[in-house]
Structure 1
Amino acid sequence: MSGHSKWSTIRHKKAAQDAKRGKIFTKLIKEVTVAARMGGGDPEANPRLRAAIAAAKAENMPKENIERAIKKGTGELEGVAYEEVIYEGYGPGGVAILVEAMTDNRNRAASEVRHIFTKNGGSLGEAGCVAWMFDKHGLIVFSKDKVSEEEVMEVALEAGAEDIRDQDDQFEVVTTVGDFEKVKAAFDEQGLAYEMAEVTMVPQTTVRIEDEKTAQQLLRLIDMLEDNDDVQHAYANFDIPDEILNSVA
Structure 2
Amino acid sequence: MAGHSKWHNIQHRKGRQDAKKGKIFTKVTKEIMLAARDGGGEPDKNPRLRAAIDSAKSANLPKDKIETAIKKGTGELAADQIEESVCEGYGPGGVAMLVQIATDNKNRTVAEVRHLLSKNGGSMGESGCVAWMFDHKGVLSFDKESYSEEQLLEVGLEAGAEDIIDDGEVWQVRCAPEDFTPLQQAYQEAGMEVSEAELTMVPQNTVGVDPETGRKVLKLYDALDDLDDVQNIYTNFELPQELLQELEN
Q: Structure 2 vs 1, CA of residues 154 and 223 (structure 1 numbering), >3 Å: closer, same or farther?
A: farther
Residue by residue, what CA displacement relative to the aligned partner does 1:99-143 show, whole Å, maximum 9, x if unpaired? Answer: 110001112211211122122211111111111111100123345
Give 3-state SS (helix, strand or coil) of 1:55's partner: helix
The equivalent of 2:204 in structure 1 is 204
Give 3-state SS (helix, strand or coil) of 2:43's partner: coil
The equivalent of 1:49 in structure 2 is 49
> Partners of 1:24 and 1:109 in 2: how far apart?
18
Identity of matched residues, %: 56
The equivalent of 2:217 in structure 1 is 218
- 1:161-200 to 2 correspondences below 5 Å: 161-167=161-167, 170-188=170-188, 196-200=196-200
> Partners of 1:35 and 1:234 in 2: how far apart?
18
Q: Structure 2 vs 1, CA of residues 119 and 25 (structure 1 numbering), >3 Å: closer, same or farther?
A: same
Q: Structure 2 vs 1, CA of residues 19 and 141 (structure 1 numbering), >3 Å: closer, same or farther?
A: closer
> Partners of 2:127 and 2:245 in 1: how far apart?
33
The equivalent of 1:240 in structure 2 is 239
Which piece of structure 1 moves more, 109-118 or 45-54?
45-54
> Partners of 2:71 and 2:247 in 1: how far apart?
42
The equivalent of 2:62 in structure 1 is 62
Structure-1-length-normalised TM-score:
0.88
Q: Tell me, which stretches of 5 or more residues in structure 1 are unaligned?
A: none
Q: Give the CA deviation at 1:19.
A: 5.4
The equivalent of 1:28 in structure 2 is 28
Instruction: Indicate whether 1:131 and 2:143 are aligned.
Output: no
8 Å CA contact 1:12–1:196 kept in 2: the answer is no
1:76 alignment partner AA: E
Which piece of structure 1 moves more, 62-71 or 10-19?
10-19
2:234 alignment partner AA: Y
Give 3-state SS (helix, strand or coil) of 1:5's partner: helix
Q: Give the CA deviation at 1:81.
A: 0.7
Q: Structure 2 vs 1, CA of residues 57 and 11 (structure 1 numbering), >3 Å: closer, same or farther?
A: same
8 Å CA contact 1:215–1:248 kept in 2: the answer is no
8 Å CA contact 1:9–1:195 kept in 2: the answer is no
1:160 alignment partner AA: G
Give 3-state SS (helix, strand or coil) of 1:162's partner: strand
> Partners of 1:129 and 1:151 in 2: how far apart?
39
8 Å CA contact 2:100–2:232 kept in 1: the answer is yes
8 Å CA contact 1:97–1:234 kept in 2: the answer is yes
RMSD: 2.3
8 Å CA contact 1:15–1:21 kept in 2: the answer is no
Give 3-state SS (helix, strand or coil) of 1:179's partner: helix
> Partners of 2:241 and 2:171 in 1: how far apart?
15
8 Å CA contact 2:88–2:124 kept in 1: the answer is yes
8 Å CA contact 1:91–1:121 kept in 2: the answer is yes
Give 3-state SS (helix, strand or coil) of 2:141's partner: strand
Structure-2-length-normalised TM-score:
0.88
Q: Give the CA deviation at 1:201.
A: 0.3
Q: Give the CA deviation at 1:233.
A: 0.2
